[in-house]
Chain A
Amino acid sequence: MTATKVNTIQARYRRTGLYLLIPAIAVLLLVFAYPIGRSFWLSLFDQNLGTGLEPVFAGLNNYDRIIGDGRFWQSFWVTTRFTVITVVLELILGMGIALVLNQAFRGRNVVRTIAILPWALPTALIALGWTWIFNDQYGIANDILLRLGLIQEGINWLGDPLTATVALIVADVWKTTPFISILLLAGLQSIPGDLYEAYALEGASAWQSFYRITLPLLMPQVIIAILFRFAQAFGIFDLVQVMTGGGPGGATEVVSLYIYATAMRYLDFGYSAAMVVVTFLLLIVAVVICTVLISRYRSRTRE
């Protein structure tokens, strides 16, 4: 008797649980699953101005086009370069900031508040600010470099492929380093202090204890941070759109900008769907690699 009663109660719980989940799942399916699934489907069709915006079955033709599309691969390279450089810089800087913020000092709360500020502000507006900073005539970046005597005449930051990339990287590092330092700070705070004391008794230097204790114990956070940032940086849109619009001459065009242009400007929907699919699959591969890394790391530290 009691056993079945418990069972029915459990079953009821489960059912209620499902009811509570349904709205969330419905919204998620609508906003995530449908667009991705739809992209897979649409990528097999030509739907563009040449077909009067009607879908016409095309097999794998769109993927064939991607392979031969110099612009896609250039934007892919631009994105990868941007992602790798920013993530590495942000990790190093973020680690530094986290280490500082992990210390007890007067005014730490204020500094912490200041340190998360860049992350919280709207990227598009921040991008406008950086565009102004990197303005070729009145920009403060040129002014400071000129006053320091590092350059002789103003640089047209956003007008040259190399310097435009540098400007974007600086702006992105400024914007998202706080995110990484917050993650790493949380990791740092979970490391017990006596570990360091014991290690220090053995005569280890600060660098050694950082290398031997902090870094290994922080590894999961580091990998998670990398994964998050990788996904975000790879899909970056607003910063580039506002600061350079992909220019000069497509030198800073990232994948998301190209996809956006293909869909919203060229109305080449089948083709943009194929590019979405390719980008999506690449992201999945990255996630899988990171997950494997994390689980490996966890099992190793457990042993």
Chain B
Amino acid sequence: MKLLFFLKRILTKYWLRSRLFYRLTLLILFVISAALVIVPVLSQPVTLRLLMTAPDVPPWNRVMVKAFEAQNPGIRLQIVEGPNATNLIEDLYTSAFLLGDSPYDLINMDVIWTPKFAAAGWLVDLTDEFSQEELSVFSAPDVEGGKYQDRLYRLPIRSDAGMLYYRRDLLEQAGYQPPKTFEELVKISKDLQEKGLVRWGYLWQGRQYEGAAAMFVEVLKGFGAFWVNPDTLEVGLDQPAAIQAVKFLQSTIQEGISPPGVTTYMEEDTRRIFQSGEAAFLRSWPYVWPLANAEGSPIQGKVGIMPMIGAEGNTGGSCLGGWGLGISKTTKHPKEALKAIRFLTSQAPQKEFVLEAGYVPSRKSLFTDPVIVAKYSYYPQFFQVVQKAVLRPPIAQYAQASDILQRYLSAALTNQMTAEQAMQNAARETRLLLEAGRTRRG
């Protein structure tokens, strides 16, 4: 402490005695304002920048960036590493656009961001850049997911869809075909549980987060209900079919088919239980497959997949996920950006990318490509699922609508509200949201 005191005294003394205080301040100010001018000037020529989650960066750098820069010497592709959570990436993109001069030229977009970014006028309209023919090589739902009000803003680079995993071995053992309806799923689950073959029947994601909204879209579809009609902005959450959908989820918990903890589960929680062999059915994404069939997994080779099923008399549907590329309206290099999109979504780089990172492709032919199938034998099956994928409502206010639904869905699942109450509230708030501004604008 003595030393500190001494130092402090020297400091204050020095300051006090020197008349320099005033001049020094001026000097500091000058240096700083000089720095303020110089720093922005030091930026470089044609560099295309895009932001993505930290785990995505290494495969992108290894494959995409390398391939692109090798073929396009004049253009650099710079991947900015963001946080792990995708919703944080969405927020970072959003703030960047709101501020005006966005530092990103390309946007790596989750399917649910497209309507929002397009409605806000931040994306370049790509409709006229790509012909029907060019688009027809991609899986159709993925192209659809890149559209907002019939204009194209995003080209798919990576697909993703929800699917139903089932224990092939157990079903065969008990003499069942894979279920075609929810009712069958419930029946088989109960039977397998009673026989003591599994502890739980059906696992799904019930925590209050975007994953639950994706899961619920499939159940809604399975009951012939809808969330929001993107064309008329009509809300269907309080219709009987939608309430039935909630009641179905509630009943899986009440009847002991799903563990009570399912209301707090995310993807990884459900995968761990399924992979330990404790459940017969799981609703999840493609990433589960390689993990479940990995060396040492208790259920290695015992798993089947199929598109999501529906209730009696309805067809089911898988929720579409996936990523695509769009161009920022404020980019100074729109031509180069378009060139980059064409290249990155083309056959060769995407094939290499799929082989390297194990992502699901967006180009139809790659699902059955012999090299890819040699490495990932299950991709042809994925294709069936991806083809049947349904979109979450492509409306501009999706994020807000989804948060409303998540809140009330969670309230119903945890029995804080009845299914009717919850869905009526959710529908009312969603209507208020969608009406704000629309009616008056006429």
Contacts and interface: CB of A to CB of B under 8 A. Distances in A.
A and B touch in the complex (CB under 8 A): yes
B437 A248 contact: no
B251 interface: no
Contacts of A61: 436
B434 interface: yes
Contact of A249 (B1, B90, B410, B441): B410
Contacts of B94: 264-265, 267
A50 B407 contact: no
B440 A58 contact: yes
Contact of B119 (A49, A58, A65, A264): A49
A264 B99 CA distance: 11
Contact of B425 (A51, A70, A110, A261): A70
Interface string A8-23: 0000000000000000
B1 A159 contact: no
A70 B1 contact: no
Contacts of A52: 119, 121
A271 interface: yes
Contacts of A265: 90-91, 94, 399
Contacts of B407: 70-71, 249-250
A181 interface: no
Contact of A46 (B90, B91, B410, B440): B440
A49 B396 contact: yes
A46 B435 CA distance: 10
A159 B263 CA distance: 12
Contacts of B209: 247, 249
Interface magnitude class on chain B = 20 to 34
Contacts of A264: 91, 94-95, 98
B108 interface: no
A116 to B, nearest CB: 15
Contacts of A69: 429
A268 interface: yes
Contacts of B436: 46, 48, 50, 58, 61-62, 65, 268, 270-271
A51 B43 CA distance: 36
Contacts of B399: 265-266
A55 B132 CA distance: 37
A68 B264 contact: no
Contact of A56 (B98, B116, B396, B437): B437
A158 to B, nearest CB: 12
B13 interface: no
Interface in B392-442: 396-397, 399-400, 403-404, 406-407, 410, 425, 428-429, 432-434, 436-438, 440-441
A47 interface: yes
Interface string B90-119: 110011001000000000000000001001
A230 to B, nearest CB: 27
A109 interface: yes
A53 interface: yes
B1 to A, nearest CB: 6
Contacts of A268: 397, 400, 433, 436
A109 B1 contact: yes
B404 A71 contact: yes
Contacts of B98: 264, 267
Nearest to A260: B91
Nearest to A269: B98
Contacts of B410: 249
Contacts, number: 88
B207 interface: yes
Given A46-B437, A266-B399, A65 B264 contact: no
B434 A50 contact: yes
A270 B436 CA distance: 9
Contacts of A58: 436-437, 440
B208 interface: yes
A280 interface: no
A101 B98 CA distance: 48
A261 B397 CA distance: 12
A50 B91 contact: no
A198 B114 CA distance: 75
Contact of A110 (B1, B95, B434): B1
Contacts of A57: 440
> Which of A47, A49, A264 is the most central at the interface, judged by chain B CB atoms within 10 Å of its CB?
A49
A56 B397 contact: no
B121 A248 contact: no
B187 to A, nearest CB: 31
Interface in A184-202: none
Nearest to B414: A249
A47 B406 CA distance: 24
Interface string A246-282: 0111100000000001101111101100000000000
A56 B442 CA distance: 11
Given A109-B1, A249-B410, A265-B399, A51 B90 contact: no
A267 B116 contact: yes
Interface in B343-369: none
Contact of B207 (A47, A249, A261, A262): A249
> Which of B119, B120, B407, B436 is the most central at the interface, judged by chain A CB atoms within 10 Å of its CB?
B436
Contact of A68 (B90, B91, B429, B438): B429
Given A264-B95, A265-B399, A47 B437 contact: yes
A51 to B, nearest CB: 4
Interface string B10-27: 000000000000000000
A176 B94 CA distance: 32
Interface in A82-141: 109-110
B207 A248 contact: yes
Contacts of B425: 70
Nearest to B212: A249
B429 A70 contact: yes
Given A49-B116, A71-B404, A249-B410, 20 more contacts: A46-B437, A50-B396, A50-B397, A50-B436, A50-B441, A51-B441, A52-B119, A53-B120, A61-B436, A68-B429, A70-B407, A250-B407, A262-B400, A264-B91, A264-B95, A265-B94, A267-B120, A268-B397, A268-B436, A270-B437
9 contacts: A49-B397, A50-B434, A52-B121, A53-B121, A68-B432, A71-B403, A247-B208, A261-B403, A264-B95
Which 6 pairs of residues, A with B, have the shortest CB-CB distance? Answer: A249-B208, A46-B437, A49-B396, A51-B437, A266-B400, A50-B437
Interface of B: 1, 90-91, 94-95, 98, 116, 119-121, 207-209, 264, 396-397, 399-400, 403-404, 406-407, 410, 425, 428-429, 432-434, 436-438, 440-441
